[in-house]
């Protein structure tokens, strides 16, 4: 198994579930990112997607048994050479076999010999996911250091809907890239913690068809929520005008305006351990919404009277309980009066939060992008630079900073 230039060696284990067809898209994403991917399906998986498909997409021969190519000892060598093993879909049966150390096919042998990060992506019916046997098996794998994602909520096989759906391939690929860059990015260290994350940009209506808004896509807030869920937190995601799939393992509350976001955050924050205000909240809103669409006139546009929106971050920080942590975000540009960091440090003091993530914004920076950079400022005077990279990397660095400050 060779490595593509600049890429990593990835084993993609495919379990025998109907969601196997979605894993072909995951394989494409990983190979297009320059990684050398060897697909190792179970025999059951080949009933859903044939070996020819996996071979054509990965450019590697595909086998499920330990006897094919036995002269190369694949049941040992594949795991030893891998930089990451991703198992998707991880069925209830496959999770059970992995937890109990069974080695009756090529994939389970590979799991025993791998010493790299293991990323399990479960997919099954809700009843199977919630069964005590599966719960124990997942806990065993996590205790051993494997990353087991929470399934998504949505349409399952047939007419069923519930928790157990395979997360979207794009989300899985982002976690894979994160673990390849930092094998320690997803410790299971936020269990029994409730975190609230706001994301997106508020819209303040002018009339029935127009609004004041901003360019926030919600991608950074969604990355923060997604990483928190992967690290074991119960996550409430307050999403303002975001057009992204719900991150797996999160409860999403949708809002539109700043006032709606304020109400949702205050409600969710009542029993939260951490509140992360990553949403871009409009500073002002029209003093009154016009009931009918504003028309052009010869006199020109009428002035729009604005009033201030509530300062949600400052409110949450002022109302926090002892031990509750509050994190803010600042999208800044330097000017003649101060640098980006100087503006950020002043905002940290003004808002009264525990941590503030400062982003330099501008054309091609932060808003709407898949990558980001920032500086995590602490009220204790600390300053941590997070280099430019995927937004999940900034999210992981932020949760590292948070967990270091959580009172146990």
Asked if 391 and 371 touch (Cβ cutoff 8 Å), the reply is yes
Q: Do 289 and 217 sit in the same domain of this protein?
A: yes
pLDDT by residue (tens digit) across 329-388?
A: 998 777 778 888 989 999 999 999 999 999 876 555 556 678 989 999 999 999 999 999
Q: Do 208 and 322 sit in the same domain of this protein?
A: yes
CATH number at residue 153: 3.40.50.1950
Q: Tell me the three state secondary structure of residue 327.
A: strand
- The neighbouring-strand residues paired with 376 are 357, 384
Pairing of strands 152-155, 161-165: antiparallel
Dist CA 145 CA 139 (whole Å): 10
| Residue 296 CA neighbour count, 13 Å, CB half | 1
pLDDT by residue (tens digit) across 158-197?
A: 778 889 999 999 999 999 999 999 999 999 999 999 999 9
Range of the domain at 97: 9-181
Averaged pLDDT, 128-142: 98
Pairing of strands 284-286, 9-14: unpaired
Q: Do 161 and 208 sit in the same domain of this protein?
A: no
pLDDT on residue 2: 44
Q: Do 219 and 352 sit in the same domain of this protein?
A: yes
Q: Do 161 and 209 sit in the same domain of this protein?
A: no
pLDDT by residue (tens digit) across 69-103?
A: 776 666 788 999 999 999 999 999 999 999 999 99
> Structurally, how many domains does the chain consist of?
2
Domain boundary among 152, 181, 210: 181
pLDDT by residue (tens digit) across 54-69?
A: 999 999 999 988 777 7
Is 214 known to be catalytic?
yes
Q: Do 211 and 275 sit in the same domain of this protein?
A: yes
Q: Is residue 189 part of a domain?
A: no
- Alpha-carbon torsion angle 362, 364, 367, 370, nearest 10: -150
Q: Do 77 and 221 sit in the same domain of this protein?
A: no
Asked if 244 and 280 touch (Cβ cutoff 8 Å), the reply is no
Q: Do 117 and 213 sit in the same domain of this protein?
A: no
Q: Is residue 188 part of a domain?
A: no
With bands split at pLDDT 50, 70 and 90, how would you rate the model's confidence at 3?
very low
Dist CA 9 CA 4 (whole Å): 8
Neighbours of 28 (CB within 10 A): 15
Averaged pLDDT, 47-60: 96
Domain boundary among 147, 181, 215: 181
| Residue 345 CA neighbour count, 13 Å, CB half | 10
Q: Is residue 137 part of a domain?
A: yes
Least confident of 53-67, 130-144, 359-373, 390-404: 359-373
Q: Do 161 and 200 sit in the same domain of this protein?
A: no
Reported in sequence order, the residue ranges of 27-151 that DSSP labels E, i.e. its strands, are: 36-41, 84-90, 118-122, 147-148
Q: Do 243 and 172 sit in the same domain of this protein?
A: no
Q: Is residue 244 part of a domain?
A: yes
Q: Is residue 103 part of a domain?
A: yes
Q: Is residue 3 part of a domain?
A: no
Q: Is residue 187 part of a domain?
A: no
For the chain, the first-to-last Cα distance in angstroms comes to 44
Neighbours of 154 (CB within 10 A): 17
Q: Do 217 and 144 sit in the same domain of this protein?
A: no
CATH number at residue 324: 3.40.50.10300
Q: Radius of gyration (Cα) for the chain, nearest Å? A: 24
Residues 6+ apart with CB under 8 A from 68: 61, 74, 106
Q: Do 331 and 387 sit in the same domain of this protein?
A: yes
Nearest of 123, 109, 135, 164 to residue 15 by alpha carbon: 123
Neighbours of 98 (CB within 10 A): 26
Dist CA 141 CA 125 (whole Å): 20
| Catalytic residue from among 137, 182, 214, 309 | 214
Domain boundary among 158, 181, 204: 181
pLDDT on residue 363: 54
Averaged pLDDT, 235-242: 97
pLDDT on residue 36: 97
Q: Is residue 211 part of a domain?
A: yes
Within the chain, what is the greatest distance between any pair of CA atoms? 85
């Amino acid at each position: 198994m060779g490595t593509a230039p600049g890429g990593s060696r990835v084993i993609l284990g495919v379990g025998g579930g109907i969601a196997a067809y979605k894993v072909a898209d995951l394989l494409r994403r990983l190979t297009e990112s320059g990684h050398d991917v060897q697909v190792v399906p179970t025999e059951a998986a080949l009933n859903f997607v044939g070996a020819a498909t996996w071979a054509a997409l990965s450019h590697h021969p595909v086998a499920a048994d330990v006897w094919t190519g036995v002269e190369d000892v694949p049941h040992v060598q594949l795991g030893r050479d891998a930089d990451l093993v991703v198992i998707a879909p991880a069925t209830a049966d496959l999770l059970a076999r992995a937890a109990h150390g069974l080695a009756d096919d090529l994939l389970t042998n590979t799991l025993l010999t791998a010493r790299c990060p293991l990323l399990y992506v479960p997919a099954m019916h809700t009843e199977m996911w919630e069964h005590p046997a599966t719960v124990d098996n997942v806990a065993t794998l996590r205790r051993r250091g494997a990353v087991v994602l929470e399934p998504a909520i949505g349409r399952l096989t047939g007419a069923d809907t519930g928790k157990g759906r395979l997360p979207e391939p794009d989300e899985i690929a982002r976690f894979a890239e994160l673990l390849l860059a930092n094998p320690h990015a997803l410790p299971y260290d936020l269990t029994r913690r409730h975190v609230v994350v706001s994301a997106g940009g508020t819209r303040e209506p002018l009339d029935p068809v127009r609004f004041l808004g901003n360019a926030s896509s919600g991608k950074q807030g969604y990355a923060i929520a997604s990483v928190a869920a992967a690290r074991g937190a119960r996550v409430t995601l307050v999403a303002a005008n975001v057009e992204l799939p719900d991150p797996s393992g999160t409860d999403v509350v949708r809002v539109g305006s700043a006032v709606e976001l304020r109400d949702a955050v205050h409600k969710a924050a009542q029993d939260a351990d951490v509140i992360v205000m990553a949403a871009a909240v409009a500073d002002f809103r029209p003093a009154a919404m016009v009931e009918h669409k504003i028309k052009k006139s010869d006199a020109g546009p009428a002035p729009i009277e604005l009033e201030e929106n509530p300062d949600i971050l400052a409110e949450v920080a002022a109302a926090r309980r002892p031990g509750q942590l509050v994190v803010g975000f600042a999208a800044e540009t330097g000017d003649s009066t101060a640098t980006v960091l100087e503006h950020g440090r002043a905002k940290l003091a003004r808002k009264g939060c525990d941590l503030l993530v400062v982003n330099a914004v501008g054309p091609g920076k932060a808003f709407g992008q898949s990558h980001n950079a920032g500086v995590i400022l602490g009220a204790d005077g600390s300053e941590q630079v997070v280099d430019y990279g995927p937004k999940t990397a900034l999210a992981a660095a932020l949760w590292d900073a948070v967990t270091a400050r959580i009172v146990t």
